[in-house]
């Protein structure tokens, strides 16, 4: 049984590096594609937003002397590269996908509109929405919040390398404890960094729940869809 009918899956660009220090690990990409096929075969409509941190991060580029706007634009292009890679991996799994871009760059991808995305989802295609919001100063977290709201997703599934939200960074504090669920207000009050404030506020105001889980463990995406309690639910 599936818990969600339509999802927005947010994938980390850094996770695509796998064991590498830069770029795309083909094994990790293929692993993601197989997991996506599993839930697609369950009848779930899947929209995806991928970060670009495995190639270039605009904010860190600005810290090294890049103009912020140009740095963010470079980051948007990095997300397009990742999206094309995932689209190719999905094709290898027999899945039809469509890459939509927030900036016009045909024939690399089609220009994003809400209605084009929903039409493709209803036709059974996996829709990969790239280039963020198309604007500088907005993260891919904000882009995924926006797209999740626009396509009327039931939930945003934030696939990370940790298995949920903790009281502190579990990689630094061994005493950190995990939340099974938490409200948006608690995240604000505790100062937890789940996503940037703009993204979190958008989800709160539009009542889009977020589920944070470890995407790097094979099968976890299917477990989330089936309703297993393996991550952290964020809600109003």
Cβ contacts of residue 105 below 8 Å, gap of 6+? Answer: 80, 131
Asked if the structure places residue 224 within a domain, the reply is: yes
Distance of CA 207 to the CA centre of its chain: 18
User: Is the pTM higher than 0.85?
Assistant: yes
Contacts 24+ apart (CB under 8 A), 199-202: 199/139, 199/141, 199/142, 199/144, 199/145, 200/145, 200/234, 202/142, 202/145, 202/146, 202/149
User: Which residue would you say has higher pLDDT here, 20 or 236?
Assistant: 236
Lowest model confidence (mean pLDDT) among 112-116, 149-153, 165-169: 165-169
Q: Tell me how far apart the terminal alpha carbons of the chain are, to the nearest angstrom.
A: 25
What is the model's pLDDT at position 64? 75
pLDDT attached to residue 61: 63
Does residue 1 belong to any structural domain of this protein? Answer: no
Of 89, 93, 81, nearest to 40 by C-alpha is: 93
Is residue 2's pLDDT more than 80?
yes
pLDDT number for residue 19:
86
Number of domains in the chain: 1
State mean pLDDT over 41-48: 98
Q: Is residue 36 part of a domain?
A: yes
| CATH number for the domain harbouring residue 175 | 3.40.1160.10
Collapsed DSSP state (helix, strand, coil) of residue 127: strand
Supply the pLDDT for residue 214: 96
Q: Please, what is the Cα angle at 20 between 137 and 57, to 5 degrees? A: 10
Give percent of the chain with pLDDT exceeding 70: 97
Domain-located, residue 16:
yes
Tell me, yes or no, whether 43 lies in a domain: yes
How many Å is the maximal CA-CA distance in the chain? 51
pLDDT of residue 62: 65
- Mean pLDDT, all residues of the chain: 94
Distance CA 223, CA 230 (A): 8
Please, are residues 102 and 108 in contact by the beta-carbon 8 Å criterion?
Answer: no
Tell whether 154 is covered by a domain: yes
The pLDDT score that the predictor gives to residue 65 is: 76
Residues 62-120: pLDDT tens digits?
Answer: 677 778 899 999 999 999 999 999 999 999 999 999 999 999 999 999 999 999 999 99
Q: Which residue has the higher pLDDT, 170 or 236?
A: 236
User: 50 has which bridge partners?
Assistant: 11
1, pLDDT greater than 70: yes
Instruction: Give the per-residue pLDDT at 37.
Output: 98
d(CA 125, CA 81): 19
**What is the domain range of residue 15?**
6-235
Output phi, psi for 154, to 5 deg.
-75, -30
Q: Which of 4, 29, 15, 42 is nearest to 151 (CA)?
A: 4
On whether the CB atoms of residues 10 and 157 are closer than 8 A, the answer is yes
The number of CA neighbours under 13 Å toward the Cβ of 183 is 5
pLDDT of residue 108: 96
Q: Which residues pair with 47 in a beta bridge?
A: 8, 127
């Amino acid at each position: 049984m599936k818990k969600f009918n339509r999802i927005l899956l947010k994938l980390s660009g850094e996770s695509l590096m796998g064991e590498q220090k830069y770029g795309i690990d083909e094994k990790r990409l293929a692993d993601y594609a197989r997991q996506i096929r599993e839930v697609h075969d369950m009848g779930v409509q899947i929209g995806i937003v991928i970060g670009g941190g495995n190639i270039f991060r605009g904010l860190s580029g600005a810290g090294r002397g890049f103009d912020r706007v140009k740095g963010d634009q470079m980051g948007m292009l990095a997300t397009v590269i990742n999206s094309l890679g995932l689209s190719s991996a999905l094709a290898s799994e027999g899945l039809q996908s469509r890459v939509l871009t927030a900036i016009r760059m045909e024939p690399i991808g089609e220009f994003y509109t809400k209605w084009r995305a929903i039409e493709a989802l209803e036709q059974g295609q996996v829709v990969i929405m790239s280039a963020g919001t198309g604007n500088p100063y907005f993260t891919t977290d904000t882009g995924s919040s926006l797209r999740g709201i626009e396509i009327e997703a039931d939930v945003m599934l934030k696939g990370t390398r940790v298995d949920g939200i903790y009281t502190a960074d579990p990689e630094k504090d061994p005493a950190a404890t995990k939340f099974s669920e938490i409200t948006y207000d608690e995240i604000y009050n505790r100062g937890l960094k789940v996503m940037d404030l703009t993204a979190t506020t958008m989800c709160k105001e539009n009542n889009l729940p977020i589920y944070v889980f470890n995407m790097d463990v094979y099968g976890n995406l299917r477990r989330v869809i089936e309703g297993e309690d393996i991550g952290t639910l964020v809600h109003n």
